[in-house]
Amino acid sequence: MIRSAFASTAITVGFCLFVLLVVLVPVALLYPEPGEVLSRFLLGPFEKTRYMGNIVELATPSMLTALAVVLMFRCGAFNLGVEGSFFLGGLTTAAMVLWMPLPPLVGIPLALLAGAIVGSLVCGIPGIVKATTGASELVSSLMLNYAAVFIGLFVLNYYLRDPTAAMLSSDRFPAEYRFESLIPRTRIHIGSIVAVVACIIGAIYLNRTSQGLEVRISGTGNDFSRHLGLNSVALNIRIQVIGGMIAAFAGGIEMLGLYSRFTWQNTTGNGWTGVIVAIIARDNPILIIPAALFIGYLQVGGDLVSRAFGVPTEIVSLIQALVMICVTSVAIFQHPALRKFVQGNRGEAAQ
């Protein structure tokens, strides 16, 4: 089992690099200095402390959204509401910070909690609807993502808008509410530590607690869990609400960590990135941490070549899409020759 997990991880890493080069090399060849483009993308992110800081900043929200996705997927709920939860969580946290004149020590946790509760609706409602009516959580969570954005924009436009700002944005947050940078010359904030700790707690919860076991059992199929007498329905709702809360909490952290006012006009893409990270991590909470850093690294690399050579940043999305297909491919992961190659002779002994 350990060897098999090792092989899966090794193949995943291999394919991530393979896909990266398959997309990057042809794109680089379109430019006069292909070598420069490649090295800027691949090595550039490590050149400066600031760039490495960017990787961590970008990985922070996706670690949390990926954790939310992993919990829901492992429970068997195909819920894609994290994108909307993240947006509403950020908005509610921003609104609380602007409306509540409390000292930061009380105000910040309260604002994040409020964000988590309101944002959890986007994942929670599809879960409840599924449990009570049987309607697919997949379709309703996709729909609610759009609804969340428009409702959020309504609140922003009618209640939070700073009339003096040139663009549609909220008033400025009071300075004492914003997270301080932990490492000089980066914007890494306390949220990164929270995210890593959350992933570790998530791993312990899933693998070392009885409820985590119930989540995993109910995720493998309802028959077995029903025979065990588990209340899968209640568990499913609870996990989707928790997932929504984690994603929304991530939105709040992102808001206070990196922004001085609420400026989102649309969903941020952090939820989708979370889905990709969750898949690369193969639904394992601990592996979310390296997977999120890898995606952050791609985003920083894409950003660097975009600024230096004008290469559109969308190539990163293209890489992510292909990685997603490869990593979920059963044909690749159960290919006997490939597994044998990775595991060597020990793999045969294990079988």
One-letter amino acid identity for 77? A
Range 71-91 burial, b when 16+ CB lie within 10 A, else e: bbbbbbbebbbbbbbbbbbbb
Residue among 141, 165, 167 at smallest CA distance from 87: 141
Least CB distance to other proteins at residue 214 (A): 23
Least CB distance to other proteins at residue 181 (A): 31
- Report phi then psi at 39, rounded to 5: -70, -30
Query: Of 101 and 134, which CB lies nearer to other proteins in the complex structure?
Result: 134
Least CB distance to other proteins at residue 138 (A): 7
Query: Of 282 and 340, which CB lies nearer to other proteins in the complex structure?
Result: 282
Spatial contact of 86 and 250, defined as CB atoms under 8 Å apart:
yes
Judged on CB neighbours under 10 Å (0-12, 13-18, 19+), 63 is: buried
Q: Where do contacts with other proteins occur on this chain (CB under 8 A)? A: 78, 80, 125-126, 129, 132-136, 138-140, 142-144, 146-147, 149-151, 153-154, 157-158, 272, 275, 279, 312, 314-318, 320-322, 324-326, 328-332
> Which residue shows structure tokens 């092989």?
7
- Provide the CA 143 distance to its chain's centre, in angstroms: 19
Give the three-state DSSP class for 161: strand
CA-derived radius of gyration, the chain: 21
Least CB distance to other proteins at residue 147 (A): 4
Least CB distance to other proteins at residue 177 (A): 26
Query: Of 143 and 342, which CB lies nearer to other proteins in the complex structure?
Result: 143
Query: Of 10 and 155, which CB lies nearer to other proteins in the complex structure?
Result: 155
Query: Of 10 and 332, which CB lies nearer to other proteins in the complex structure?
Result: 332
How far apart CA 41 and CA 255 sit, in angstroms, is 28
Query: Of 80 and 256, which CB lies nearer to other proteins in the complex structure?
Result: 80
- Dihedral over Cα of 261, 121, 213, 294: its sign: negative
Least CB distance to other proteins at residue 329 (A): 4
